[in-house]
Structure 1
């Protein structure tokens, strides 16, 4: 890792003119206002340039809806920062955490050492830790800071040449700080103290094992503990680097605003992070800032320090967008990027699949359709990899989108960059309900994407009101199912997702990214995933009478009994009487159904459930055709003349059971049953008789409407008791 040349000489070469083109906003505070221009001119002017939540996204270009601009990438960020730095020899570079973690593969595949090298090239002076610095545990964080070789890293890696500070991060066993609490940096002859703090929510945002011996103490208490130490050393200008959320231009709000009201008034500036928002404004006479995410913006804080009192008497900030089209890329950082791109490029460019539309991801959301296409894809891939009944994927683990067209390995890595692995456990239906309830937030709604089941939830109670299998059948409270999650969810420090509380047994699987790659590769045709209502907000539906259903004159399907069932009769007084046992493989005509019962004629019923399956008709194969499995892979070839049972009809396919399907085609002729003639009957066309059909003939029925059986070509036979017998497939 090349060390940077110190900038003490460079910063004395103040440019006489400075221009920039970028979106910016400013807030100014003067305390007290200098009465004379000469006094202001005597103040030391210091510039703080800062970034937050870079997350190793050194090669990522950001876009916004209805905005032609492109934002970010490290070589453009560097160009803006160097341009600003040239305007003031007293410039300090800072960051407020999550510099790495969830990084682009060009950084992550090399243990984020490329991001460190770029920060050194920029001349980073000081930073703090966010939750993602702890993703791989404290030993790896310390290696990244202090140096040392890693099997996946670069040979001879020598660590960071700038410090990270954290006043509220200690070892549980010794009580000692993991990092120094603060750092004093002299600029323009004035001392500025930088205190760092990480959010106390860190344990809830990383894998539990990564911070099992680490304690995150109250941020305000930690800051107030070290402010007196700084003052004792003659430091009156104090900046806090806080990986704590804040948002709002003009009047910031959030946890950082609360923190500002609690900390010593000697603190002048607090640089926030964590929620990836823009913020710039005053709270309790403290300047609060945050600059978006992923290097798409940075903050410029301009300070004036009184040479006599050594206190900050004036401060203002701008949030500057990194618009690629407004500046030339920095050649030094571009050279670093090109070097690492050459090392990992072939792997990143591998095409693993294709999608017919863009796939959005992230958290679940409130509303009638609360799922998202990318989350559905990932959850289905988890189920496929682990052969489980259900899967749940936390929304915070889905970090990017997939664009329409070819899907590259790099795209999937950017979606799931944390290296989590899959975990399968066993849960009851009741346990699954508790797990789903646990991830519904009153403020935000659902967290996780799901696979293998659907649910409906009530925003008034934030509880599940309906929980069903993907095919619509009920999930039974006492039945045991298998559930796949990732190790972040399973090992969560406070069991936020209640998976350990409800799960029995544990089977570890592959890295989650590998499961998604395998699943995408299994599709022989472009993916067509979409948000489909697996998750839906709404009050519990009114429960209809268990006997309420639409009954038809002719059969609507045929019921296949998989395990022994009971045929019952509904009496006029509402009681049931057993008629007989229905044996496995027995088939009964169905005239109506609801979630509890199948009507098999008159007042006779069989209980609904997974052991009584309806099929609606058959398809006759006129030429050899392909039978596909659920992931689009050809299972076998159906031969001419085969008749295949159909369990449901979709717009472009016939579902033939267990996820298998046949594409709709003129060579697959769907029919519902047969009609046999017990006497001569008229053949009808648009209600008029066109000829007489003779007793004994048998015809396929392609559709049923009221009392008409359609036998093809628009012709029909009237369903006339005693004259015809209609047999459902």
Structure 2
């Protein structure tokens, strides 16, 4: 079983691992095809977020090129990630089952099945896709159960998850395991779009470990995703594997099944990095990527500015980033507010050194969220900043403009912010009302920043992308952004 996770339509983006180029659809294809030839009993799987938060080459064409490429490579099965819901259930189903979009016309959809066991229709309470799929290899049945993180409603806009309910992942998996066992299926795999991390001792922690610990002993392998991390280890005797993200790696899981018992008797995994060195890009897939690039070239190649150096989303220990500062500044400038806040998960790429195109800026902010101006008191802003620490597994430090704050990691999660100041150093007044800008995702309480729901006098502005492009164009060129100490750590 060869699996990818969190591909995010990265058809043409070259990554860097150990100072070597990795990734792109054409190189990933060469690796998958080579490994498939080595073993006739191969299944190709994806573990969600195949599309969504994609660069322009895929996103501007409604992510159809990515599904086309998975079809061409002969993928056997996929599950949903949270980003499959970015444009709502109807558009997600169009990409899977086929249908017409006003921008791109008719699309045939995916020619492989999807499975998800923990997403049900709000009205009928029926699963929106098959909760499990059985694949037969040389007559032996292998069961696959898909699930997506139950936190999806908090990390996708409300419109994206309208009409569906997300249930507990482990409960949904165990329910389907029972059904599979009744059908005589003993080899059972889980495609779980939820993640975790692995330490130097090989121990896996995080939500995927918590889920796996609750699973029926009949489950053999858990393919993970969502955290864009490396996982290759065992939890309660189950193999758990995840291959980073963006096609920079894939998982190669080998299992041996006893024909008599139909059960897995051996299993092992390897996470393979898609280094360019020593591998040729797949010509068929490269041609498909080239065609997609040609379609979007007129839009994406427009120059919007020049940087003095690359501006990255890399955070310092306090959680501040140069690119986060630039985006927050753009949003505050466009909406003319006292402060602005940007979520780190909405920053999807870095800006290059030198020429910056519209396509580069789109890759940074591909969601098309509207900007929202609102009023919050100083007391609400402090509570908002403390909400950065509510999930110990996923601390999310907001990028800020017009504002500085200091936090202490050893204080209780709901009181970690030590002080909040305006940019000139004066403390904000808890009783005073301030104007703030954020994006429509956060404005609706996304990432569990529920204080934004308390905002008053809300005004909707242009998209975050348009605001950032406009802001960059009016800056003195070449422009730069850097970490300035807006966010600071203290042990006091």
Smaller-chain TM-score bracket: over 0.9
CA contact (8 A) 1:365 1:446 kept: no
Specify the alignment match of 2:8 in structure 1.
55
Q: Aligned to 2:457, which of 486, 494, 505?
A: 505
Task: Confirm or deny: 8 A CA contact 2:231 2:240 kept in the other structure.
Answer: yes
CA 1:497–1:451: 2 relative to 1, 3 Å: farther
Counterpart-to-counterpart distance in 2, 1:376 and 1:513:
15
Q: Give the 3 Å change call, closer, same or farther, for CA 276–431 of structure 1 in structure 2.
A: same
- Which residue, 410, 415, 432 being the options, matches 1:460? 410
1:114 lines up with 2:65 in the alignment:
yes
Aligned residue number for residue 224 of structure 1: 174
315-324 or 243-252: bigger deviation: 243-252
Partner of 2:381: 432
Q: 1:328 aligns with which of 254, 262, 280?
A: 280
- Which TM-score applies when normalising by structure 1? 0.65
Query: Following superposition of structure 1 onto structure 2, how do residues 386-401 of structure 1 map, counting pairs within 5 Å?
Result: 386-401=335-350
Instruction: Tell me which residue corresponds to 1:480.
Output: 433
| Aligned CA distance change for structure 1 residues 318 and 184 (closer, same or farther; 3 Å) | same
2:89: which partner in 1?
A: 138
In structure 2, C-alpha distance between the alignment counterparts of 1:222 and 1:442, rounded to whole Å = 23
- Higher radius of gyration, 1 or 2: 1
What's 2:151 paired with? 201
Q: Is 2:369 aligned against 1:420?
A: yes
Partners of 1:413 and 1:68 in 2: how far apart? 25
Report how far residue 441 of structure 1 moved: 5.2
Q: Is the 8 A contact 1:208 1:492 kept in 2?
A: no
Separation in 2 of the partners of 1:473 and 1:303? 62
Q: 2: CA distance between counterparts of 1:427 and 1:270?
A: 44
What is the CA–CA distance in structure 1 between the aligned matches of 2:183 and 2:96, rounded to whole Å?
Answer: 26
Report whether the alignment pairs 1:125 with 2:71: no
Tell me the alpha carbon deviations over residues 301-327 of structure 1, each in whole angstroms, 9 at most, x when there is no partner: 111111111111111111111001221
> Partner residue of 1:295?
247
1:210 is the counterpart of 2:160: yes
Aligned 8 A contact 1:361 1:373 in 2: yes
**Structure ranking higher in helix proportion:** 2
- Could you tell me how far apart the structure 1 residues matched to 2:165 and 2:316 are? 32
| Alpha-carbon contact 1:361-1:401 (below 8 Å) kept | yes
With normalisation by structure 2, the TM-score equals 0.95
Compute the displacement of 1:110 (Å): 0.6
1:594-616: per-residue Cα shift (whole Å, max 9, x none)?
xxxxxxxxxxxxxxxxxxxxxxx
- For residues 633-668 of structure 1, what are the alpha-carbon distances to aligned partners after superposition, in whole Å with 9 as ceiling and x for unaligned? xxxxxxxxxxxxxxxxxxxxxxxxxxxxxxxxxxxx
Tell me the equivalent position of 1:609.
none
Q: 1:302 to 1:215 in 2, by over 3 A?
A: same
1:495 and 1:445 map into 2 onto residues whose CA distance is: 11
Preserved CA contact (<8 Å) 1:365 1:445: no
Deviation at 1:445, TM superposition (A): 5.6
Match of residue 491 from structure 1: 444
2:30 maps to: 79
Pick 1 or 2: higher relative contact order, CA cutoff 8 A, min separation 6.
2
CA contact (8 A) 1:380 1:391 kept: yes
* Alpha-carbon distance change, 178 to 374 in structure 1, aligned in 2, over 3 angstroms: same
Q: Which residue of the partner structure matches residue 312 of structure 2?
A: 360
Match among 101, 112, 128 for residue 150 of structure 1: 101
Q: Which residue of 1 aligns with 2:117?
A: 167
Alpha-carbon distance in 2 for matches of 1:299, 1:442:
28
Between the aligned partners of 1:222 and 1:494, the Cα distance in structure 2 is: 23
Aligned position for 1:344: 296
- Equivalent in the alignment of 1:236: 186
Gap regions ≥5 residues in structure 1: 1-47, 541-729
Measure how far apart 1:446 and its partner are.
5.5
- How many residues get paired? 486
Per-residue CA shift, 1:13-33, capped at 9, x if unaligned? xxxxxxxxxxxxxxxxxxxxx
Q: Structure 1 329/172 Cα, relative in aligned 2: closer, same or farther at 3 Å?
A: same
- Cα distance in 1 for partners of 2:317, 2:252 equals 37
The offset of 1:504, in angstroms, is: 0.8
One of 180, 184, 187 as aligned partner of 2:137: 187
Aligned to 1:265: 217
Equivalent position of 1:713 in the other structure? none
Shift of 1:133: 0.6
Aligned residues of 1:120 and 1:161 also touching (Cα < 8 A): yes
Q: Distance in 2 between matches of 1:88 and 1:530?
A: 50
> Deviation string for 1:511-562 (max 9, x for gaps)?
111110000001132112110001112256xxxxxxxxxxxxxxxxxxxxxx
Residues 60-71 of structure 1 mapped to structure 2, 5 A cutoff: 60-64=13-17, 67-71=18-22
Structure 2 CA distance for aligned equivalents of residues 83 and 350 of structure 1: 38
Runs of 4+ in 1 over 6 A off after TM superposition: none
- In the alignment, the residues of structure 2 paired with residue 374 and residue 493 of structure 1 have an alpha-carbon distance, to the nearest angstrom, of 20
The CA deviation at 1:157 is 0.7
1:268–1:395: structure 2 CA closer, same or farther, 3 Å change rule? same
**Greater strand fraction, Structure 1 or Structure 2:** 1
* 8 A Cα contact 1:167 1:182, kept in partner: yes
Check 1:177–1:357 CA distance in 2 against 1; reply closer, same or farther (3 A cut).
same
Native 8 Å contact 1:247 1:278 kept in 2: yes
The CA distance in 1 between the partners of 2:232 and 2:320, in whole Å, is 34
